[in-house]
């Protein structure tokens, strides 16, 4: 049921923070990679010594801006499930490592969407929020993507309104206090859910102005627009952890642009999503009486033509699976020329329609798991569709904290206060 859904990664990895032994080894490996690919930064030794000393003292270390940008770009380069990696070097990296409170996280997610949407000329972007550090847990974003549509049970008909993938998530945010629109629709944008150790779980409605959507129509069939379908312009994954050189950034939303099939052959077509193959086939007047008329396949093609046509007409960046497959082979060639392995997961790379028509079908790939990487932790994966489990214990209610006692603890405790659970 959770077959491939497009871009990056999902490797079950042990929960962070990693023990200090690991962070030292991972830091060294990463710094060697960075200096190896950037000869102008000089020999790795001085920086490595500095970082190891910092780890000894604090249990972690701070990336330079150059290291952060490189780490994020290489995490994309290493995303075995992503067909769109040709442009990995152009990823915009927004350094928001100072941001750890929920309100600013949400506001910067909105700013991410605005600047990544760029009026339709979508720019691949990552926003990196505060890292995990000893005694200072990082913020979490629960949502799978910054923009996702709610799913509701319709009490009268027993059918689902909206995206069935988010039925449980929607129910949970409503329990937490989210008020859906007065009339529930098929494309109601869910609120952002940000959790911090200090503030607990908080809900944030995205400003309408940063939610760019495309209304779907068909190049020939006028009735198609009457189906009232739409999709959001920017796919921004927000529940994966960016892992660079032993440092974890659990909140690091990133986006590219869509490949049409992600919407037309999965989001709108899967039986457990919008399930629109039947209705489209019916409007097309196809003979649905038996499988061998290939009515599903024919409806699928028209649905996907509508997606590409509509995004192009709205001047929102989108790519098709033929173009993107060719680009991916270019990427593989370039990586090989650079003397690197390029990990790829065949079952995710091959597009969900017309697989063998694309060149990526007809070969095998390296499957090594490389770092830096975007990681989908099992708990984060569950939170993204169900709203559970929480990342942190509920913060104590606003009763006065026992500050005097904490203050009398040693200086280290004061510098890095442990939030009262």
Report the interface residues with ligand ARG, using CB under 6 A.
Answer: 5-7, 84, 145, 235, 237, 256, 258-259, 262, 267
Q: Which residue is nearest to ligand ARG (CB)?
A: 6
- If the CB atoms of residues 4 and 417 are measured against ligand ARG, the closer one turns out to be 4
* Distance in angstroms (rounded) separating the CA atoms of residues 349 and 331: 13
Contact 113, 147 (CB under 8 A): yes
- If the CB atoms of residues 238 and 354 are measured against ligand ARG, the closer one turns out to be 238
- If the CB atoms of residues 201 and 360 are measured against ligand ARG, the closer one turns out to be 360
- Is residue 109 annotated as a catalytic residue, yes or no? no
- If the CB atoms of residues 9 and 102 are measured against ligand ARG, the closer one turns out to be 9
**Following DSSP, what letter does each residue of 54-107 receive, concatenated?**
HHHHHSS----HHHHHHHHHHHHHT-TT-S-GGGGGG-EEEE-TT--SHHHHHH
Per-residue tokens: 187: 């494309």
- If the CB atoms of residues 23 and 342 are measured against ligand ARG, the closer one turns out to be 342
Closest CB 284 distance from ligand ARG, rounded Å: 24
Place of tokens 């913060």: 395
- Is residue 262 annotated as a catalytic residue, yes or no? yes
Closest CB 267 distance from ligand ARG, rounded Å: 5
Of 77, 85, 165, 241, the active-site residue reads 85
Closest CB 234 distance from ligand ARG, rounded Å: 9
- Is residue 76 annotated as a catalytic residue, yes or no? no
* Distance in angstroms (rounded) separating the CA atoms of residues 26 and 105: 27
Of 76, 142, 257, 295, the active-site residue reads 257
* Distance in angstroms (rounded) separating the CA atoms of residues 170 and 160: 12
Closest CB 317 distance from ligand ARG, rounded Å: 10
CA 153 to chain CA centroid, Å, is 26
Of 24, 26, 76, 82, the active-site residue reads 82
- Is residue 7 annotated as a catalytic residue, yes or no? no
Render the burial of 128-137: b for 16+ CB within 10 Å, e for the rest: bbbbbbeebb
DSSP-derived letter for residue 348 is H
Of 262, 302, 324, 373, the active-site residue reads 262
- Active-site residues: which are they? 82, 85, 257, 262
């Amino acid at each position: 049921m959770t077959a491939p859904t497009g871009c990056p990664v999902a490797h079950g990895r042990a929960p962070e923070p990693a023990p200090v032994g690991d962070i030292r080894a991972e830091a060294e490996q990463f710094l060697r990679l960075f200096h190896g690919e950037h000869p102008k930064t000089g020999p790795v030794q001085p920086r490595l010594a500095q970082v190891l000393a910092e780890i000894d003292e604090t249990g972690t270390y701070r990336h330079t801006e150059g290291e952060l940008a490189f780490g994020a770009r290489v995490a994309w380069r290493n995303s075995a499930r992503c067909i769109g990696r040709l442009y990995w070097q152009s990823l915009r990296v927004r350094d928001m490592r100072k941001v750890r409170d929920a309100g600013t996280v949400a506001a910067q997610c909105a700013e991410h969407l605005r600047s990544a949407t760029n009026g339709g000329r979508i720019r691949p972007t990552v926003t990196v929020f505060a890292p995990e550090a000893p005694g200072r847990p990082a913020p979490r974003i629960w949502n799978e993507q910054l923009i996702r549509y709610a799913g509701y049970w319709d009490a009268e008909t027993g059918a689902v309104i909206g995206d069935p993938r988010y039925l449980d998530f929607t129910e949970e945010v409503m329990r937490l206090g989210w008020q859906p629109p007065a009339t529930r629709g098929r494309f109601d944008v869910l609120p952002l859910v940000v959790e911090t150790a200090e503030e607990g779980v908080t809900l944030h409605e995205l400003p309408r102005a940063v939610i760019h959507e495309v209304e779907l129509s068909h190049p020939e069939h006028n009735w198609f627009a009457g189906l009232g379908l739409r999709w959001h312009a920017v796919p921004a994954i927000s529940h994966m952890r960016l892992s660079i050189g032993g440092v974890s950034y659990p909140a690091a939303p990133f986006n590219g642009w869509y490949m049409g099939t992600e919407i037309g052959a999965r989001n709108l077509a899967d039986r457990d999503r919008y399930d629109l193959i039947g209705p489209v086939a019916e409007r097309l007047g196809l003979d649905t009486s038996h499988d061998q008329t290939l009515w599903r396949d024919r409806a699928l093609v028209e649905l996907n033509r509508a997606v590409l046509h509509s995004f192009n007409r709205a001047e929102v960046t989108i790519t098709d699976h033929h173009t993107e497959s060719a680009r991916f082979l270019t990427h593989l060639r370039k990586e090989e020329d650079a003397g690197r392995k390029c990990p790829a997961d065949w079952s995710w790379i091959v597009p969900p329609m017309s697989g063998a028509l694309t060149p990526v079908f007809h070969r095998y790939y390296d499957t090594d798991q490389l770092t830096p990487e975007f990681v989908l932790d099992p708990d984060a994966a569950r939170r993204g569709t169900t709203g559970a489990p929480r990342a942190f214990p509920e913060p104590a209610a606003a009763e006065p904290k026992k500050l005097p006692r904490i203050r009398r603890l040693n200086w280290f405790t004061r510098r890095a206060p442990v939030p009262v659970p």
